Amino acid sequence: MADWTDCLNFGISIAKQASEVVLTAFHQQKDVKLKSSPADLVTETDQRVEKILISAIRDRFPHHRCIGEESVAAGERVQLTDAPTWIIDPIDGTVNFVHRFPFVAVSIAFTVNQQTQFGIVYSCVEDKLFYAVRGGGAFLNGAPLHASGQEDISRCVVVTEIGAERDDLALSTMTSNIFRLLKLPVHGVRALGTAAVDMCQVATGGADAYYHIGMHCWDIAASSIIVQEAGGVVIDTDGSAFDMMSRRVIAASSSAVANRIAQVVQAFPCRRDDED
């Protein structure tokens, strides 16, 4: 098996540098622009941090490819090939960043042959470094992470978000899904405002599941391997195998919990990230 330790160490060092830029800008005035909806925001810092990350990767690994949230917003296509590829969200939780709600993360995943080799989520304000390596476990600030292993849905805390899709069908589906989860019943439903950090809660065992529809591959590519390496399960909301381009995900402490959530949540149509 190839050893990507060099890339992992490099990824951690640039995630930390990016986090410093995010933290410096966190308390400053921001110039905010809208993207696809009134809840899909971008700031100069999102764009600057993505440029810093991509240029550092290109300098060090000129043959590697990058998929970045803001590059895609600027018109690049999402094409996941077999080449080594870095999937980047410079600020996951941009709405939080704009409002200074203290959960924002730099998310970096690395794939080879379209399979994620490692994922890094740096929760900037909390100063928490989550990472996982395929077959090598998941860690938070160096300590091993373990999902809760909970199998009983009625004892679960479920994390989710309404998301940035604000058409009537998306809103009614997402709000009625929260109703369906609460009626299962579950112990509680939570939302931190960043898919990457939300999902890492499942890896810590602090939450037992996370479900979302409408997020993008850069929001969840890194955290999905962190959940899997912590012993959790990641599937599509229709119960099929996880596909990071499908814009649907359930991450859970066990297959029993993941499948129970898949039975009750409904989806609304979303254009795949890699659709032409």
Residue 124 corresponds to which tokens in the numbers above? 């900037």
**Side by side, which strands form the sheet with 188-190?**
188-190, 157-160, 209-213, 248-252, 233-235
Active site residue 92: yes
Active site residue 89: yes
Place of tokens 């996880």: 242
Residues 114, 94: Cα–Cα separation, whole Å: 27
User: Rule CB under 6 A: is residue 161 a binding residue for ligand IPD?
Assistant: yes
Neighbours of 79 (CB within 10 A): 11
**Which is closer to ligand IPD, CB of 156 or CB of 192?**
192
With contacts defined by CB under 6 A, name the span among 76-84, 121-129, 161-169, 171-179 that binds ligand IPD.
161-169
**Contact pattern from residue 93 through residue 122 relative to ligand IPD, giving x for each residue in contact according to CB under 6 A and a dash for the rest:** xx----------------------------
Residues 158, 185: Cα–Cα separation, whole Å: 11
Residues 56, 51: Cα–Cα separation, whole Å: 8
User: Rule CB under 6 A: is residue 214 a binding residue for ligand IPD?
Assistant: yes
**Which is closer to ligand IPD, CB of 72 or CB of 184?**
72
Q: Which residues pair with 129 in a beta bridge?
A: 122
User: Rule CB under 6 A: is residue 193 a binding residue for ligand IPD?
Assistant: yes
Active site residue 238: no
- Report the nearest approach of ligand IPD to the CB of residue 111 (Å): 19
With contacts defined by CB under 6 A, name the span among 2-10, 86-94, 170-178, 264-272 that binds ligand IPD.
86-94
Q: Which residues are catalytic?
A: 69, 89, 91-92, 94, 219
